[in-house]
Structure 1
Amino acid sequence: MSYVVLARKYRPKNFDQIVGQEHVSKTLKNAISENRVAHAYLFSGPRGVGKTTTARILAKSLNCKQGPTHDPCGHCPNCVEIAAGTSVDVQEIDGASNRGIDEIRALRDNVKFAPASSKYKIYIIDEAHQITDAAFNALLKTLEEPPEHVVFILATTESQKIPLTILSRCQRYRFRLLSSKEIMDSLQRLVEAESFRIEPAALQTITTSAGGSLRDALSMLDQAVSFVSGEVKLGDMQSLLGFLPKEIIYSTIDALSKNDSAKLLSIIKEISEQGYSLLQYARDLREHLRYLMILSLNSSVLEVTPDELKELEKRKTIFSVPWLIRSGHMLSRALDELRWSEQPRLVLELHMLRLAQPFESVKELIERIESLEKNVSAGGYSVSEPAPEEKYEAAAPAPSAGSEPKPSQPPARATQSAAPSDIARMWQDIVRELKAERPRIGNMLDGSLAKSITGNNFIIGAVSNFQQDGIKNNQAVIEDAVEKKAGRRLGLQIQIVSVKPQETVVEEEVIVEDEAVEAPIKEVFQVEADLTDTKGELPKGINKVLNKFPGKVVKKSSEKPA
């Protein structure tokens, strides 16, 4: 007997064996048990999820010698013929090759004949969306009022292409993609039954690559077993499916975190020289960035191997969620362009270099602008040239009267009694160095304040909740930088600093003397023009004052009030 592939060998034989489509199986079983079988069904859903298999099981249930029953025996002549595809009363029609009006007319002429040896004459039309509109129109009347012995089952992956007049005449069942757990459980049972040797990580790779299609997963497993004579390992699956080594993806992530454009170009050159697919590289990178995004938002829905999870945890806080969303869109556009470009390497290089450029989301920019405004208003922000490296010495307390002088000791660095100016300068140096070494973290600290050092705690003032969360997420890196400057380990304490902005208005004073009033009228207006340089002409602002208040100008001055 010739070899039978796993997808056919382990095809479900009854409703209970169908994986992941319980909502369909339960409804059909109840309909058969209660004798409520419809004359037309439409099974829609992605490829490889059980549409045609369910149609065959429904046909066996209706035509079984012990039926109609929701649990066909599988041994009677009718069940055996339907399973083998040789039953004259169950016809499977390929809608792609029998799509014309002539084929549908022939079908319409045949439905009036009674079944040969079964209770029902069943027509399974696969890929029904391929049938032409004229052919569908010819089928309308028959589909609406078929003979009592006829059942139509239409299967399609694109139900939106089926005319509404056909949809309204059918009971519709939507098949869903299978979850990774359902596919993994099915593969593990099959591996045990066949005594295959395969690493769990390799099995997880098959599950992830299947994309919710059990048939695709079985085909890949069949191919993997043929590819390796012994145990199937993770490397074998990656080589078979064309995946890149994980180290290349990890190196790319690290280069993106440092905005290292030169390293990214070297990685792309290495990929091209080693013969890897640039398309697959972009897909793998997008998938890895997707994992980082899901890990940051909701780790409970992440489906990866334990080893991959460890690597993801290491890089969890490197990128912000807005950056990850942006990178996903950019890589999707890159994939579209790579498929049709004459120079795919150039397209990929351009997109990767764009990814390496510094990125600030709108929310981050607003937060930074607000923090800068608060610091400018409070007078606590200044821009100056970088100061040379200094030691931040504690301010020595003044000796009290009558006390004996103590022997001089080396000054302590960044202690509890350190001067506020020294602490502030130390924090500015730390932020400046982080900007050079870790730009994302350094830029995030813009506007933060060093409040004080108490014991082993370094109290930092954050100007927003966003900045506070950013400091907490990168606390270990910041504490390392503080230890490098302060000479000892200090724990960070973050406090929200609330600064009330103060308005600064530059005003010009204009005095208007009213001839009819004894006391002069004095008003203050903000004007941009210099009153001393009018060349005999008054600015528009002064003319408006004169139009509103009677009087004349007795003094022109550009001096600003103290």
Structure 2
Amino acid sequence: MSYKVLARKYRPQSFEDVIGQEHITRTLRNAVESKRIAHGFLFSGMRGVGKTTMARILAKALNCEKGPTVSPCNICSHCTEITQGNSIDVIEIDGASNTGVDDIRELRENVLYAPASARYKIYIIDEVHMLSKSAFNALLKTLEEPPPHVIFVFATTDPHKVPVTIQSRCQCFHFRSIPVQKITEALLRIAEQEGFAIDQESARLIARASEGSMRDAQSLLDQILSFCGDKITVADIKLVLGIIDPEVLDECSIGLIEQDAERVLNLVEKLNSLGVDLVEFCRELQLYFRNLLMIKILKSPKTVIHIEGEEIDKLRPISESVEEGRLLAFIEYLNKTEEELRRSAHPRTILEVALVKMTRIQPLQEFKEILGTLEALEQKFHGGDLSGGRPPAQNPAVKKTGSAGSVPEQGHQSGKEAPAPFDWEKIVNHANTVNPLIGSILEHGFLEKAEPHKMVIGFKKKIHYDMAKGKEQKINEIIKGRMQGGFALTFCLQNGAETGKKTLTEKKEDLKREKKNELLQEHLGNHVVQEALRIFKGQVQDVRDFGADH
């Protein structure tokens, strides 16, 4: 006996079997029970959500020997013929291959004849939007006043292409995409009946990949079964479907949030060498940032992002580290990039350019911080300490505080810093070489305590502390591999300002800020700048160094 694919074997045969379309099944059941049957129906929706299946079930409900009934028996000759697709009174027409007006004229002639044996003659026209304009016009009169024994059921994935004159003569039903959870439950039931092993996470991955289509989910399950046999694992699904590893998405997102273009470009090179579909990567990254946005906004995001609680807990620190505005900008960029990638002959270049642009998106400043900056500039202007005529070589020294110094040289930090073997900057540089993701985490930490057999790494923000705890084993391996010695490694969450200790990220920012202040002082002393400020009654908001070439 030939093999029947899962999508056909588990095709719903009654209203109760249809998943995710309760708003339609209830309406049709009530119509059958009350015998208020319309002469025309238009079923619209994405692929694989039950449009043609619902049309067949409706045909069985109306033509069953025990009917009209909301529970067709699926045993009588009419039900079995409709199920097998060979009923002479239920005619299925492919609108994509019967588009001409001549096909519709033939249909108009046939509707005049009474059903051969059933109660109704039912015409199911799939992909009806493919009919030509002339064909639609030829169908109008028949659809408006059909014979009492004729019912039309139209199915389409693009209802906007169906003329409104056709839609107004039908009852229109829109089939929704099926929720991930319902598809997951259906796949688990199929696995139980078929006798193969699949866990909840594996079923959920297939459901997500199907994008709301039950038929696609069943077809993917068939494909994966052919690959791995009676035991399906998450690794097998990722291999067959080309699903991007979550750690890759983590690394890319951190690179974008930290504005590290080099790390992001290296990641694209890695993906390209592995043969990863860049369009799929862009789509997955867009979904990843969408999840971060939902976690940041919603108190209970689990209902809308369809991932496990542990995964939400893992993403929450990342979502807290980035502003809502940047997340929105990331999603918009990726949405445009995905469209460009599908059309481009050079998708890698398109993706690289887009990701570099995303690293240039500046964090939004708090309004209070902006006001404080403006007030400080205003005080300097009115205080007279920015008068013209001052030569650039005699710029006043930029005021420095304990938190705004330049990056100290290795081995010349305060007496409480680590001894020479524990050179924190070299340790972090080594981590960046071995694993950029670990290196980026350690850049936000500082060496709190260093003893011959003990090292304590401090973090000032909870997000970085949580990320370090999540990668504790990997950090241990990298640092111990560098130090070549046995010692205990622990993490702590505290403010290192009291000891004057700073993270490498803070030191880099301090150095950048100091150079920026020097540049600001230099140009504010220029009489041309002062005259421009006086004429336009303006204030300097920012100063940038574009280099000698500019």
Which residue does the alignment assign to 2:194? Answer: 194
Which residue does the alignment assign to 1:335? Answer: 338
Which residue does the alignment assign to 1:459? Answer: none
Asked which structure has the greater CA Rg, the reply is 1
Q: Which letter does structure 1 place at the counterpart of 2:340? A: E
Aligned equivalents of 1:384 and 1:280: distance in 2?
52
1:317 to 320, 323, 328: 320
Aligned equivalents of 2:353 and 2:290: distance in 1?
21
Which residue does the alignment assign to 2:6? Answer: 6
2:246 is equivalent to residue 246 of structure 1: yes
Q: CA deviation at 1:188?
A: 1.6
Name the SS for the 2:134 alignment partner.
Answer: helix
Name the SS for the 2:88 alignment partner.
Answer: coil
Aligned equivalents of 1:476 and 1:227: distance in 2?
38
Name the SS for the 2:337 alignment partner.
Answer: helix
Which residue does the alignment assign to 1:408? Answer: none
CA deviations over 1:95-123 (Å, ceiling 9, x no partner): 00011100000000000111111111110
Aligned equivalents of 2:307 and 2:148: distance in 1?
51
Alpha-carbon contact 1:204-1:305 (below 8 Å) kept:
no
2:360 is equivalent to residue 348 of structure 1: no
Q: CA deviation at 1:387?
A: 3.4
Considering only aligned residues, what root-mean-square deviation do their CA atoms show, in Å?
3.2
Q: Which letter does structure 2 place at the counterpart of 1:369? A: I
Name the SS for the 1:202 alignment partner.
Answer: helix
Unaligned runs of 5+ in 2: 386-395, 404-415, 417-439, 445-460, 468-490, 502-530, 532-550
Which residue does the alignment assign to 1:40? Answer: 40
Name the SS for the 1:484 alignment partner.
Answer: coil
Which residue does the alignment assign to 2:122? Answer: 122
2:213 is equivalent to residue 213 of structure 1: yes
2:237 is equivalent to residue 224 of structure 1: no
Which residue does the alignment assign to 1:387? Answer: 400
Name the SS for the 1:190 alignment partner.
Answer: helix
2:63 is equivalent to residue 63 of structure 1: yes
CA deviations over 1:276-300 (Å, ceiling 9, x no partner): 2222221221111111111111224
Which residue does the alignment assign to 1:548? Answer: none
Alpha-carbon contact 1:90-1:124 (below 8 Å) kept:
yes
Name the SS for the 1:316 alignment partner.
Answer: helix
Alpha carbons of structure 1 residues 57 and 187: separation in structure 2 relative to 1, 3 Å? same
Q: CA deviation at 1:330?
A: 0.9
2:536 is equivalent to residue 486 of structure 1: no
Alpha carbons of structure 1 residues 63 and 358: separation in structure 2 relative to 1, 3 Å? closer
Name the SS for the 2:19 alignment partner.
Answer: coil
Q: CA deviation at 1:60?
A: 0.5
Alpha-carbon contact 2:178-2:213 (below 8 Å) kept:
yes
Q: What are the within-5 Å matches in structure 2 for residues 172-191 of structure 1?
A: 172-191=172-191
- Indicate the larger mover: 342-351 or 27-36: 342-351
Q: CA deviation at 1:473?
A: 8.3
- Indicate the larger mover: 99-108 or 42-51: 42-51
Which residue does the alignment assign to 2:371? Answer: 370
Alpha-carbon contact 1:62-1:120 (below 8 Å) kept:
yes
Aligned equivalents of 2:13 and 2:311: distance in 1?
37
Alpha-carbon contact 2:181-2:204 (below 8 Å) kept:
no
Aligned equivalents of 2:73 and 2:204: distance in 1?
35
Name the SS for the 1:485 alignment partner.
Answer: coil
Name the SS for the 1:304 alignment partner.
Answer: coil
2:305 is equivalent to residue 302 of structure 1: yes
Alpha carbons of structure 1 residues 266 and 80: separation in structure 2 relative to 1, 3 Å? same
Q: What are the within-5 Å matches in structure 2 for residues 450-461 of structure 1?
A: none
Which residue does the alignment assign to 1:497? Answer: none
Identity over the aligned pairs, expressed in percent?
39
Which residue does the alignment assign to 1:397? Answer: none
CA deviations over 1:234-263 (Å, ceiling 9, x no partner): 111111111222222222122223222111
TM-score between the two structures when normalised by the length of structure 2 = 0.70
Name the SS for the 1:147 alignment partner.
Answer: coil
Q: What are the within-5 Å matches in structure 2 for residues 365-514 of structure 1?
A: 366-374=367-375, 385=398, 387=400, 483-487=495-499
Alpha carbons of structure 1 residues 482 and 16: separation in structure 2 relative to 1, 3 Å? closer
Instruction: With a CA cutoff of 8 Å and minimum separation of 6, indicate the structure with the bigger relative contact order.
Output: 2
Q: CA deviation at 1:323?
A: 0.5
Q: Which letter does structure 2 place at the counterpart of 1:232? A: I
Alpha carbons of structure 1 residues 321 and 388: separation in structure 2 relative to 1, 3 Å? closer
TM-score between the two structures when normalised by the length of structure 1 = 0.68
Which residue does the alignment assign to 1:551? Answer: none
Which residue does the alignment assign to 1:403? Answer: none
Alpha carbons of structure 1 residues 91 and 367: separation in structure 2 relative to 1, 3 Å? farther
Which residue does the alignment assign to 1:493? Answer: none
Aligned equivalents of 1:12 and 1:347: distance in 2?
44
Q: CA deviation at 1:483?
A: 3.3
Q: Which letter does structure 1 place at the counterpart of 2:287? A: E
2:259 is equivalent to residue 274 of structure 1: no
Which residue does the alignment assign to 1:88? Answer: 88
When the two structures are aligned, how many residues end up with a matched partner? 414
Aligned equivalents of 2:366 and 2:402: distance in 1?
30
Aligned equivalents of 1:279 and 1:103: distance in 2?
40
CA deviations over 1:335-380 (Å, ceiling 9, x no partner): 222223232222111111111125134xx3644322323555689x
- Indicate the larger mover: 297-306 or 48-57: 297-306
Alpha carbons of structure 1 residues 481 and 101: separation in structure 2 relative to 1, 3 Å? same
Q: CA deviation at 1:485?
A: 2.6
Aligned equivalents of 1:485 and 1:173: distance in 2?
64
Name the SS for the 1:141 alignment partner.
Answer: helix
Q: CA deviation at 1:84?
A: 0.2
Aligned equivalents of 2:150 and 2:216: distance in 1?
33
CA deviations over 1:166-187 (Å, ceiling 9, x no partner): 1111111111111122112211
Name the SS for the 2:153 alignment partner.
Answer: strand
Q: CA deviation at 1:200?
A: 2.0
Aligned equivalents of 2:312 and 2:327: distance in 1?
17
Q: Which letter does structure 1 place at the counterpart of 2:160? A: Q
Name the SS for the 2:68 alignment partner.
Answer: coil
Aligned equivalents of 1:167 and 1:340: distance in 2?
34
Q: Which letter does structure 2 place at the counterpart of 1:355? A: M
Alpha-carbon contact 2:317-2:463 (below 8 Å) kept:
no
Which residue does the alignment assign to 2:456? Answer: none
Aligned equivalents of 1:278 and 1:365: distance in 2?
35
Which residue does the alignment assign to 2:433? Answer: none
Alpha carbons of structure 1 residues 483 and 118: separation in structure 2 relative to 1, 3 Å? closer
Aligned equivalents of 2:89 and 2:66: distance in 1?
16
Aligned equivalents of 1:302 and 1:377: distance in 2?
47
Q: Which letter does structure 1 place at the counterpart of 2:198? A: I
CA deviations over 1:307-336 (Å, ceiling 9, x no partner): 532431241212111111101111122222
Name the SS for the 1:55 alignment partner.
Answer: helix
Alpha carbons of structure 1 residues 113 and 318: separation in structure 2 relative to 1, 3 Å? same
Alpha-carbon contact 1:199-1:231 (below 8 Å) kept:
no
